[in-house]
Amino acid sequence: MGNAQHMNLPPKLGLQAYQTTIYGRALHPELFQLKGRKVHRHAGLELETWLLPAGHLLRLQHGNSCLSELLTDHEKTVPDGGILHSFICVGEHDYEKSYEAAGVDYIHSIQTETLSEMLYDATLDEMRQHTKDMQSLAYEWMDASGRCLSALDVQRHGRELHIQSYHLIATGGVVVRTQTIFEARR
């Protein structure tokens, strides 16, 4: 779906506002304000990447099993059924888990920071160029303080899918970066 412009504004967000939730089931698109969607198939894995304003959802299908990762503002209502793990996204955080039933190893790293206005603007310009160069799934919008961007990149490696997300929110100069790795075990 590439780049898109839209004027729907997410609520004011700070670093304390983000959470990552991992589900042992599929989540349905009608629950979210989707701004982009892409399907990737590799090594017996099927990954749907869904881009949201200031967030994302990754839905991985492996055989008959499904895992979903939702990164969003924790003030939004999220589905509560099938949660395997959830955490607030502050600073640097790593999480690893082997999901035996799904036959998948899951690794998630997150880095959050608050930037000065000048550094935020430079980072945003750099990320806008990155999304063009990489043909990332990307969404740009404006909030009360300025330009915002959310983007997803996916790479294939051996039996793994690597997903990088970037969420830049002008209000507060918030930057949330994640890397998720799904590795097929069988």
Confidence check: pLDDT of 177 > 70: yes
Q: What's the whole-model pTM score?
A: 0.88
pLDDT digits (tens, 9 = 90+) for 47-100: 999 999 899 999 999 999 999 999 998 666 778 899 999 988 888 989 999 998
pLDDT band at 7 (very low <50, low <70, confident <90, very high): very low
Confidence of residue 6 (pLDDT cuts 50, 70, 90): very low
For the chain, what is the mean pLDDT? Answer: 88
pLDDT the model gives residue 75: 65
- Tell me the per-residue pLDDT of 112-129, one tens digit each, with 9 for 90 and over: 999 999 999 999 999 999
pLDDT for the residue numbered 44: 92
Going from N- to C-terminal start, the domains of the chain cover 15-184
Beta partners for 88?
19
- Closest Cα partner for 18 from 86, 71, 83, 68? 71
Q: Scanning the structure block, which residue is given the tokens 């967030």?
A: 55
d(CA 48, CA 56) in angstroms, rounded, equals: 11
